[in-house]
A and B are shown apart, each in its own frame.
Chain A
Amino acid sequence: MSPVPLNDLPLNALPGNALSGNALSGNASARAKAAALVLVADDDPVIRKLLESWLRQDGYRVVVATNGAECLSCFRQEQPDLVLLDALMPELNGFDCCQALLRQAGLPVPVLIITGLEDQDSIDRAFAAGAMDYITKPIRWPVLRHRLRLLVEQARQQALMREEHQQLKTLAMTDMLTNLANRRCFDLELGKEWRRAARERCIISLVMIDIDSFKPYNDNYGHPQGDRALQQVAQALRENIHRPGDLTARYGGEEFAIVLPGTPRRGATYVAERIRQAVWRLQIPHLFGRQRGGVLLRDRVTISAGVSSILPQGEFTQGAILDLADRALYQAKTAGGNQIAWLGKSEASGAD
């Protein structure tokens, strides 16, 4: 099997809440280069036409809606950068429309309300509905030009910052070699899942995985080859962990860890064994591994796994499950490697 290039590895092993989406190639920067799309909603055909022509001349792309309801469906379909809303439209007025579309947008989209009513009440209503600014009719075009430019720039700046923030968040939680969750992410998630399991009186399992004889592998094949082996093993892990709540992480060096919430001994050892077999089938050549009586035991890269299952209760802390899994891993190693071992506590886990 050829090494899997890093960029092709999906981020699917990372927990959804912190790291969802394609955060490493966002679209805010791509969007910042295109002409801004403005959605104009006004029931008055004269003003609609004026706004549309003027906006196009000023380099904007434009979509128009003739009333509030149309504006909402347009907004969903077109995802404009900015919305120009007439305050007084039949059926759904501009204020209510503004509120509704900001609610469905999720992200802050700049809305500018155009009002013929220059009274305090309308202005208050516009801002209360979430509008970023307002202008009055008759429209002063030079003023509108500046306001639009500022609003669009500001919105794009914010979108870029949100995207960068998301990217940094992802990077901070990702192991760059394997694209699995990193140690930091693992620690946070294990803590979270442990507390959840304690709250819900639910069993939790942990699998610690170690590549057998990895030091001689690196020494003999070189670190670049070692990195490729790590990536292949990571991919095997990824292909065998499917449940959304499970977390696969690179724990350090040649060690990996899998958190399996709500999974008892039988399920966890099954997962570990499936992974051991998957790595075996990778057939990554390794002629410098363990020997017995001067004879090479295995001709390929293998893993050992320590599995622990605990029902979190008063006397156990989060460290207990790590400690047990680590001891189980040690047992698997000392018994010859390329195997799994289990240790657990509490009646529900079918303990030792």
Chain B
Amino acid sequence: MEPLIDRAQLLESLEAMGGEPAEALALILDLYSEDAPQLLGAIVQGAAAADFEQLRFAAHSLKSSSATLGAHRLAQLCQQMEHQAHRREAHNLSALAQQLQAAYQATWAAFRDPALL
């Protein structure tokens, strides 16, 4: 299984922002928390309704920002969802959505862990 947070990737992105890594993290998590819950909601809803277009787009977006912040496990699940939506496979959609939700919560907790950096 992919690591929850790839520290090297996260630090690379924070470094790209410049300034103190802790401050950069706080700023970027603010932005992340604005969008991610909505995308997650769209994924859960899309999975329940088998709305593949919505699923694909939401999963893709959440994947991009998560991967950029080094949240590889979440990103990997998003990618799985994106591919499945692309192939229009209804099989196991809600189970995958649940896994994704759990991974999101774990990721968010890890981001908020003061020991992260």
Please tell me if the beta carbons of A46 and B16 are within 8 angstroms of each other in the complex. no
Would you call A137 an interface residue if the criterion is a C-beta within 8 Å of the partner chain's C-beta atoms?
yes
CA distance A43 to B67 in the complex (A): 15
Determine how close the nearest CB of chain B comes to the CB of A146; give it in whole angstroms.
14
In this complex, how many residues of chain A approach chain B with their Cβ under 8 Å: the count is 18
CA distance A117 to B70 in the complex (A): 17
Please tell me if the beta carbons of A57 and B65 are within 8 angstroms of each other in the complex. no
Would you call B114 an interface residue if the criterion is a C-beta within 8 Å of the partner chain's C-beta atoms?
no
Q: Identify which of residues 51-92 in chain B touch chain A, using a CB-to-CB cut-off of 8 Å.
A: 57, 60-61, 63-65, 67-70
0/1 string, A26-43, CB within 8 A of B gives 1: 000000000000000001
Q: Identify which of residues 8-49 in chain B touch chain A, using a CB-to-CB cut-off of 8 Å.
A: 9, 12-13, 15-18, 24, 27-28, 31-32, 34-35
Q: Which chain B residue lies CB-closest to A52? A: B17
- Chain B residues touching A, range: 20 to 34
- Selected from A44, A57, A141, the residue in CB contact (under 8 A) with B12 is A141
Q: Which chain A residue lies CB-closest to B27? A: A49
Contacts of A43 in B (CB 8 A): 61
Determine how close the nearest CB of chain A comes to the CB of B40; give it in whole angstroms.
14
CA distance A204 to B67 in the complex (A): 70
Please tell me if the beta carbons of B18 and A57 are within 8 angstroms of each other in the complex. yes
Please tell me if the beta carbons of A137 and B64 are within 8 angstroms of each other in the complex. yes
Determine how close the nearest CB of chain B comes to the CB of A46; give it in whole angstroms.
4
Residues of A within 8 A of B (CB): 43-47, 49-50, 53-54, 57, 88, 90, 116-117, 137-139, 141
A-B contact pairs, 7 of them (CB 8 A): A44-B65, A45-B35, A49-B31, A57-B16, A116-B63, A117-B60, A138-B9
Return the 6 tightest CB-CB contacts between A and B, nearest first: A46-B65, A54-B16, A53-B17, A45-B31, A138-B67, A57-B18
